[in-house]
Amino acid sequence: MPRAVLLHAIDDRLRRAAQLEREARHADAFVFLEQAHVLSQRLTLRHCRVHWRMLRNGWARRDHREVLGQTLRLPAAALFSRVWVPHGNTGGARVAALRPMPVPDDLKALLEL
């Protein structure tokens, strides 16, 4: 059951991001993508999916740095999700890829299930 709760939380954040993107609120959507990233880091397919969505979001914002960063992070997510991830890292290109970050309490509770 705990894994199902985590998967639901990730998918919920991806759905919220998609809704905001449909409204052309890409910067607001990115906040939900960052939360989905923190939750999905140990789940290879979902982790990759989040980086793909971040890449698309960057493209929509015409943020070349984000697009390049996600182009590099996507294969890294595929290769290293099960081995090592920087705990709490929000996954955006403006954050160092290997930098651990504090996890907000609401996300921490989901990761500890």
pLDDT tens string 62-74: 999 999 999 999 9
User: Does residue 102 or residue 1 have the better pLDDT?
Assistant: 102
> In terms of Cα–Cα distance, which of 78, 80, 89 is closest to 111?
89
The confidence score (pLDDT) of residue 112 equals 84
pLDDT per residue over 15-52, tens digit each?
A: 999 999 999 999 999 999 999 999 999 999 999 999 99
Write b or e for each residue in 41-68: b if 16 or more Cβ atoms lie within 10 A of its Cβ, otherwise e: bebeebbbbbbebbbbbbeeeebeebbe
pLDDT per residue over 78-94, tens digit each?
A: 998 888 888 999 999 99
Q: Is the pLDDT of residue 1 over 70?
A: no
Output the pTM of the full model: 0.93
